[in-house]
Amino acid sequence: MTTQLDQLKAMTTVVADTGDFEAIKRYQPQDATTNPSLLLKAVQIEKYRPLAAEAVQWAAAQDNVTDVAGAAADKLAVSIGSKLMEQVPGYVSTEVDARLSFDTMATVEKANHLLALYRDQGIDTSRVLIKIAATWEGIQAARILESQGIKTNVTLVFSFAQARASAEAGAFLISPFVGRILDWYKANQPDEDFTGANDPGVKSVSRIYDYFKTHGYDTIVMGASFRNISEIQELAGCDRLTISPALLDELANTEGKLERKLNPVDSPKPAPAALTEQAFRWDMNEEQMANDKLAEGIRQFAKDQVTLEAMLADLA
φ/ψ of residue 221, rounded to 5 = -100, 120
Give the global pTM.
0.94
Q: What pLDDT digit, counting tens, does each position of 219-233 carry?
A: 999 999 999 999 999
Express each pLDDT in 241-270 by its tens digit.
Answer: 999 999 999 999 999 999 999 999 989 999
Whether 301 and 37 have beta carbons less than 8 Å apart is answered as yes
Instruction: Say yes or no to pLDDT of 108 above 90.
Output: yes
Distances (CA, A) of 120 to 33, 241, 264: 20, 30, 39
Q: What is the pLDDT of residue 38?
A: 84
Q: How far apart are CA 189 and CA 192, in angstroms?
A: 6
Taking the C-alpha atoms of residue 98 and residue 156, their distance in angstroms, rounded to an integer, is 11
Contact between residue 93 and residue 30 where contact means Cβ atoms under 8 Å apart: no
Residue 152 contacts residue 129 (beta carbons within 8 Å): yes
Active-site position among 25, 47, 75, 131: 131
Tens-place pLDDT, residues 40-49: 888 888 888 8
Amino acid at 281: R
Tens digit of each residue's pLDDT (9 = 90 or more) over 44-85: 888 888 999 999 999 999 988 889 999 999 999 999 999 999
Q: What is the number of alpha carbons within 13 Å of residue 190 lying toward its C-beta?
A: 1
Helices (H), the chain: 4-11, 21-27, 36-43, 49-60, 68-85, 104-120, 136-147, 160-168, 178-188, 200-214, 229-234, 245-252, 277-286, 288-315
CA 97, CA 139: separation in Å to the nearest integer?
15
Classified as helix, coil or strand, 243 is strand
Q: Is the pLDDT of residue 1 over 80?
A: no
pLDDT at 316 over 80: no
How high is the pLDDT of residue 24?
A: 87
- Ramachandran angles phi, psi of 66, nearest 5°: -95, -25
Q: Provide φ and ψ at 62, rounded to 5°.
A: -80, 140
pLDDT given at position 241: 96
Tell me, what CATH number does 76's domain have? 3.20.20.70
Residues 158 and 294: beta-carbon distance below 8 Å: yes
DSSP bridge partners of 152? 130
| pLDDT of res. 222 | 96
The pLDDT value given to residue 19: 76
Whether 315 has a pLDDT exceeding 90, the answer reads no
Rounded to whole angstroms, how far apart are CA atoms 247 and 150?
Answer: 31
Q: Quickly count: other Cβ atoms within 10 Å of residue 13's Cβ.
A: 18
Q: What is the spatial distance between Cα 119 and Cα 133, in angstroms, rounded to a whole number? A: 24
Q: What is the distance between the alpha carbons of residues 295 and 263, in angstroms, rounded to a whole number?
A: 32
Which residues form the domain of 268? 4-315
The closest of 219, 146, 221 to 176, measured between CA atoms, is 221
pLDDT band at 302; cut points 50, 70, 90: very high
Question: How many Cβ atoms are within 10 Å of 23's Cβ, its own excluded?
Answer: 19
3-state secondary structure of 153: strand
| Statement: residue 309 has pLDDT above 80 | yes
Tally of structural domains, the chain: 1
Residue 131 known to be catalytic: yes
User: Is residue 91 within 8 Å of residue 128, measured between CB atoms?
Assistant: yes
Q: Can you tell me the distance from the alpha carbon of 194 to that of 217, in angstroms, rounded to the nearest whole number? A: 29
Q: Following DSSP, what letter does each residue of 13-45 receive, concatenated?
A: EEEEE---HHHHHHH--SEEE--HHHHHHHHTS
